Amino acid sequence: MKALTWHGRRDVRVDTVPDPAVKDPTDVIIKVTTSGLCGSDLHLYEVLGPFLDVGDILGHEPMGIVQEVGPEVTAVRVGARVVIPFNVSCGTCHTCGQGLHSQCETTQVREYGSGASLFGYTKLYGQVPGGQAELLRVPFGNTLPIEVPHGPEDDRFVFLSDVLPTAWQAVEYAAVPEGGSLVVLGLGPIGDMSCRIALHRGAAQVIGVDLVGERLTRTRRRGVHVLDLREHGKDLADVIRGLTDGRGPDAVIDAVGMEAHGSPGAKLAAQATNLLPSALAAKMMEHVGIDRLHALYLAIDIVRRGGTISLSGVYGGQTDPLPLLTMFDKQIQLRMGQANVHRWVDDILPLLTDDDPLGVDTFATHHVPLDDAPSAYEMFQKKQDGAVKVLFKP
């Protein structure tokens, strides 16, 4: 089969690799019909090379048609249409039972002290072959796949794999009070969808911040008050306080994470790490890694006293300095973590109707053949051609 594989920093290629096969009696093999390109895939493209091997198959946002099932699979049949969550979670352990599928005890990567394994996402998360491929082996066939109806285009359902539950959890963790205010930092796929969900769930005021013109325009059309970071770089916090009765918003979602602009020192450190031998670079990133923290510092500054910060943007540093005095003094509540996909499916599925209140049918900006995935990664990384969400068609 064809699959997108990692070969080095900013070097991904479509290779021919062996087809996956059923290994365990509850495995499922799906023929992938659509797979998304996620902002966190850019971390693999740019900085997490020490935790990858040449030939690793990328991608963690797939859906498709069940092609083969193991002898103990009873929940889905050949021909079923399924979405595959990015968490590789068993659905039956203690943490899954608590709705913490991203901490699944069955697939935790204890070698690295990490949570549940993820499809297509480095040794830190199990080195499980990903879904930017023609075929995908899916374990836990009775509990992991999300069956969806045939009929609508894949765009209706594919975002159940990551974008929708990640944004839903970000808004849930933000705990915006009824009639309250929310600022979303970063209007990529997760930030954009977080704005839509927050408005749908009744937030009275949603303010989105970004510096990419197409993203600002796209989010403004959904009824969000947008602020261009290029115009308000130095006075952004004051502008936001002026829009929120001088106090700051009730909650802030940081949907930027380690891809934040600013802090050139941290950027150089990340780039320098990639020049080290892989084993040494991996140890350095595990124990002394740092992030660009501009977005998080901004969230701490602008959130009102007693407010909540919800982190959905991925951070990877182990020695990031935090202004704990300020956080303690402002009585800030902080929630974060990988999305627990299955925890939110029952809340989201009723919204994936022909009425399309969240705009999923037109959410993707680009539909690209898998053969063109390397150029799509470059386009997305450079924020070219209005790329917000790219979907691959194997």
Chain Cα centroid distance, residue 250: 23
For range 24-29, the mean pLDDT: 98
Instruction: Decide which of 54 and 275 is more confident.
Output: 54
- CA separation for the pair 94, 114 (Å, rounded): 16
Structure tokens belonging to residue 45 = 């493209």
Mean pLDDT for all residues in the chain: 91
Q: What is the mean pLDDT of residues 368-377?
A: 97
* 215 SS3 class: helix
Q: Is this structure's pTM higher than 0.85?
A: yes
| Cα end-to-end distance, the chain, whole Å | 10
- pLDDT of amino acid 339: 96
**Which domains occur in the chain, in start order?**
2-162+340-393 (3.90.180.10), 164-336 (3.40.50.720)
- The length of the chain in residues reads 394
Name the phi and psi angles at 11, rounded to 5: -135, 95
CB 88 within 8 A of CB 114: no
Closest CA to 71 of 41, 100, 111, 28: 28
pLDDT at 16 over 80: yes
Sign of the alpha-carbon torsion through 360, 365, 370, 373? negative
Which tens digits make up the pLDDT trace of 231-275?
A: 997 899 999 999 999 999 999 999 987 653 333 444 444 454 444
C-alpha angle 169-174-178 in degrees, rounded to nearest 5: 110
Task: Report, as an integer, the average pLDDT of 149-158.
Answer: 98
Q: Which pLDDT score, from 0 to 100, does residue 290 have?
A: 45
Per-residue b or e along 237-258, where b marks 16 or more CB atoms closer than 10 Å to that residue's CB: eeebbebbeeebbbbbbbbbbb
Tell me the pLDDT band of 316, cut-offs 50, 70 and 90. low
Q: Highest mean pLDDT range out of 46-60, 156-170, 226-240?
A: 156-170
374 neighbors 14 (Cβ within 8 angstroms): yes
* 85-106: average pLDDT: 97
How do residues 345-369 score in pLDDT, each as one tens digit? 999 999 999 999 999 999 999 999 9
Distance (Å, rounded) from C-alpha 383 to C-alpha 376?
Answer: 10
**Coil, strand or helix at 205:** strand
The Cα-based distances of 309 to 203, 248, 306 in angstroms read 15, 12, 10
Q: Which of 9-18, 214-223, 252-261, 343-352 is the least confident region?
A: 252-261
- Using an 8 Å Cβ cutoff, are 194 and 170 in contact? yes
